[in-house]
Amino acid sequence: MIKYVFKKIIKFIFFISVILTTTAAKTDNKGVRVVVEKKRGAFSDFADILFLHKKNNGRMSREAISDAIKRVIMIETGGDIRKKNPYTGAGGAIQILPKMARRLGLAKNHHLQPLSEQVGNAAKYYVEQLNYFDFPATPADFYLLCFYPSAVNKGFGYKVGGSKVAAQNKILDLNKDGQILKGEIVKYFNSFK
Mean pLDDT of 92-100: 93
| pLDDT surpassing 50 at residue 155 | yes
pLDDT(84) > 60: yes
pLDDT(31) > 60: no
Strand pairing report for 31-36 and 23-28: antiparallel
User: Rounded to an integer, what distance in angstroms lies between the CA atom of residue 150 and that of residue 124?
Assistant: 19
Cα dihedral 45/131/64/158 (nearest 10):
-160
3-state secondary structure of 56: coil
State the pLDDT at residue 62. 86
- What confidence score (pLDDT) does residue 1 get? 62
More confident residue, 101 or 59: 101
Mention the CATH class of domain 2-149.
mainly alpha
Asked whether residue 185 carries a pLDDT value surpassing 60, the answer given is: yes
Residue spans per domain, the chain: 2-149, 154-193
pTM of the full predicted structure? 0.72
- Distances in Å between the alpha carbon of 132 and those of 8, 103, 125, 127, 129? 21, 14, 12, 10, 6
